[in-house]
Amino acid sequence: MINLFGKKPTEKRLLSVDNTPQSLIFGGTTQNALDIPAVYSCVNLISNSVASLPVDVFVNGIETPGHKALDFIDNPLGNMTKFMFFSSIVRNMLLDGNAFAEIENDGFLLHDTKDVQIYLDDRKYITYYMVKSDKNGNTKKVLPGQMLHFKRLTNDGRGQIGVSTLDAFNNLFEEINSTNGHIKDYLDNGLNSALWLEIPGKVKPEVLTKLREKFADLYSGISGRNKVPTLTDGVQLRELNNRSLVDASIQALKEAQLKDVSMLFNIPLTLLDASSGTYGNTVEANLMFLKTCISPLLRNIEDEFNSKVNYSGGIAYKFDVSAFITGTFETQIQTLNTAVSGGIMTQNEARKRLGLKELTDGNKLFAPAGTPTAKGE
């Protein structure tokens, strides 16, 4: 860009992605966030769902199977599979708010978010990225046009830096961590019912103290759960059993955690908790999952690829989401049969949906009854 006023713009270094606020909550690593079962389930479901989808290449709007542009997608650099490449991109977007893949001559190289630093100009737009290039800490400059920068929701008003879900709702995740700590303490130390001894008559304080300590050593904690106490001289064992109330509270807390986290990640609860789902609402949940959670992520990833990867050559990448809307095999057959007989799809287009080989004469459209014969392409 031409500088009309002769003033050299100053560059401001933004905090590295590894220094974003979520590191304050989870000790500097997103792995701690994945220790929360509800977070792990959500991130695992979303990232695996995206990574499992086929990617098609379109040239000037026409699908082109086997195009060489697919080689970059199917064989990313860094000894990664296509599945792990997209799974890691989505994971980083969900947990860090950003994901980075450098465009190189022979493919895409995924970078760890903590190895990327972002530099902004005076207008707070990204000028370039500094990327850790080796184990010695050396860095290299990467221009925006050579970096695929996938962003979660941004709050900078310019769409430059993604915001982590963990950062945006840090109070909730701190509360979940605190609650899980209390649950762990209970499971470690509170599995026994509260026991107490009723001793007839008067007992000297030193004898009572010794008896209390001895009884606690033998029968408290996990190690004492299955021991049978032996009592003499009219001593009676009493029990204060509040486990059922505590267990019910723990279950309610876990259900509330799962509900809150699933809402943050836009996942229908029935996809995470099978006990609350039926066949009918699970099908609806899949469609809602596609619409509210997966589709925005896919569009985000597609737009970044298509804006920077061979855009001038008319090449566009697009995810195939038909797996989300196929239903049962019987429903698929009925739907595709109707589409073929109604002249909407060719036999080969229908067979592709089922993963079957093309037919030599399967590219003709059938004409619905009472209409002119349709010409196949």
pLDDT digits 0-9 by tens, 334-349: 777 887 887 888 888 8
Per the CB < 8 A criterion, the answer to whether 150 and 301 are in contact is: yes
Kindly list the domain boundaries of the chain, sorted by start residue. 1-171+255-322, 194-240, 326-377
Lowest-confidence region among 250-264, 320-334, 343-357: 320-334
Q: How much is the average pLDDT of 303-328?
A: 78
What does the pLDDT read at residue 221?
58
What integer pLDDT is reported at residue 18 of this predicted model?
A: 41
User: What residues have CB less than 8 Å from 153, skipping those under 6 apart?
Assistant: 97, 162, 163, 168
Q: Is the pLDDT of residue 24 over 50?
A: no
What confidence score (pLDDT) does residue 44 get? 92
pLDDT at position 120, please? Answer: 86
Most confident of 159-163, 178-182, 368-372: 159-163
For position 109, what pLDDT does the model report? 93
The answer to whether 195 and 212 are in contact (CB under 8 A) is: no
Say yes or no to pLDDT of 302 above 90.
yes
DSSP β-ladder status, 147-151 and 98-104 = antiparallel
% pLDDT > 90, the chain: 16
316-337: b (≥16 Cβ within 10 Å) or e:
bbbbeeeebeeeeeeebeebbe
- Per-residue pLDDT band at 312 (split at 50, 70, 90): low
Would you say residue 204 has pLDDT above 70?
yes
**Span 143-154, pLDDT tens digits:** 999 999 999 888
Q: pLDDT value at position 81?
A: 92
224 CB-near residues (< 8 Å, 6+ apart): 192, 218
Closest by CA to 183, choosing from 242, 249, 245, is 249
180 has a pLDDT exceeding 70: no
What does the pLDDT average to over 295-313? 85
Which run of H or of E encompasses 187?
helix 170-189
Residue 223 is predicted with a pLDDT of 58
Instruction: Identify the weakest region by mean pLDDT among 82-91, 98-107, 131-140, 266-275.
Output: 266-275
Give the chain's mean pLDDT: 75
- Higher-pLDDT residue of 47 and 181 is 47
**Mind listing the pLDDT tens digit for each residue in 43-81?**
999 999 999 999 988 888 887 887 888 888 888 988 899
pLDDT at 1: 35
pLDDT at 100 (0 to 100):
94
pLDDT score for 7: 45
Strand stretches in the chain, DSSP E: 12-13, 55-59, 62-63, 98-104, 107-111, 116-120, 126-132, 139-142, 147-151, 194-198, 236-240, 315-319
**128, 197 contact by CB (below 8 A):** no
In single-letter form, the type of residue at position 323 comes to A
Residues 297-310, mean pLDDT to the nearest whole number: 89
Indicate if the pLDDT at residue 12 is higher than 60: no
- Collapse the DSSP code of 120 into the 3-class scheme (helix H, G, I; strand E, B; otherwise coil) and give the result: strand
Sign of CA dihedral 87, 92, 98, 104: negative
**Among 40-44, 154-158, 212-216, 244-248, the least confident range:** 244-248
DSSP secondary structure code for residue 156 in this structure = S
Q: Is 309 exposed, middle or buried (0-12, 13-18, 19+ CB in 10 A)?
A: middle
Confidence of residue 3 (pLDDT cuts 50, 70, 90): very low
- pLDDT, tens only, 257-299: 778 888 888 888 888 876 655 555 666 777 788 888 899 999 9
Q: Are 102 and 109 in contact (CB under 8 A)?
A: yes
- How much of the chain exceeds pLDDT 70, in percent? 66
Q: What is the pLDDT of residue 49?
A: 92
**pLDDT band for position 86 (cuts 50, 70, 90):** very high
Q: Return the closest-CA partner of residue 190 out of 165, 222, 164, 158.
A: 222
